[in-house]
Amino acid sequence: MQVRKIQIVMGMPITVEIVDCPSEELLEAVFAYFAAIDRRFSLYKPGSEITALNQGRLAAKTASPEMQEVLAIADDIKYRTHGYFDVRRPNGLVDPSGVVKGWAVRNAARLIEVARSGNYYVDAGGDIQSNGTAADGADWRIGIQHPFNEREIVKVVCPRGRGIATSGTYVRGQHIYDPHRPARSIGDIISLTVIGADVLQADLYATAAFAMGKPGIYFIEQLPGFEGYMIDCAGIATQTTGFKDFVVS
């Protein structure tokens, strides 16, 4: 049974399509999972766990296993990106949003796979994990939006089971910052798309590489198993060596 649903959760549209879904209950379980993640990690909910942590009502060592996992991922990626990915803001608050979205999509995909569904597509605000094939039997095709024209697609790629994520300022404005120079706006690039082993890895490195500005695409080039596609402020694209292997148009 093929099912598809789009719903606003975690402040963004989430799309889930399962080609070989055993029941509609699985689809509902996936969205219930996203809702639970929102309740725990939302910075805007006074009753969320992350709010309690930031207000000092909860210590990290007594936080939930989910919270501790996310914070451990954040510490690890901070180290791996030389500090360009940091969930601790200059004002002292912890904002794990840059981890949570890709992490939640990856976990939702795992829920689908546990139900023995191998053909699916999960998209949360541009963080995408797909696997298998679409309903027509072809590989899932994902378009990269033109940052200066929302109606135009600049590239179409087939991740073939890998994760893909795009970081940029063309939709939400300046929301990504360079932890080494927090006051500096990142204006030399507009978008940076990364394909990685899974959506969590793609999202983490896309965010970190974007924070680096133009040098970020060369950082991705050096990472084994990752490919990237960057568009700068002049509309000029730069891609890593192996990115072309995923491009279909």
Kindly report, residue by residue over 16-55, the tens digit of the pLDDT.
999 999 999 999 999 999 999 999 999 999 999 999 999 9
Confidence of residue 170 (pLDDT cuts 50, 70, 90): low
pLDDT at 174: 58
Q: What is the pLDDT of residue 183?
A: 73
CATH number at residue 147: 3.10.520.10
Mean pLDDT for the chain overall: 95
pLDDT digits (tens, 9 = 90+) for 117-129: 999 999 999 999 9
Fill in the amino acid letter for 133: T
Q: Could you list the residue range(s) of the whole structural domain that residue 69 is in?
A: 3-246
Question: Each residue of 98-121: pLDDT tens digit?
Answer: 999 999 999 999 999 999 999 999
- For residue 117, the number of C-alpha atoms closer than 13 Å in the C-beta half-sphere is 29
Q: Is the pLDDT of residue 173 over 60?
A: no
Q: What is the pLDDT of residue 121?
A: 98
Q: How many domains does the chain have?
A: 1
Read off the pLDDT band of 184 (50, 70, 90). confident
From 25, 248, 41, select the one nearest 158 (Cα to Cα): 248
| Residue 195 near residue 232, CB atoms below 8 Å | no
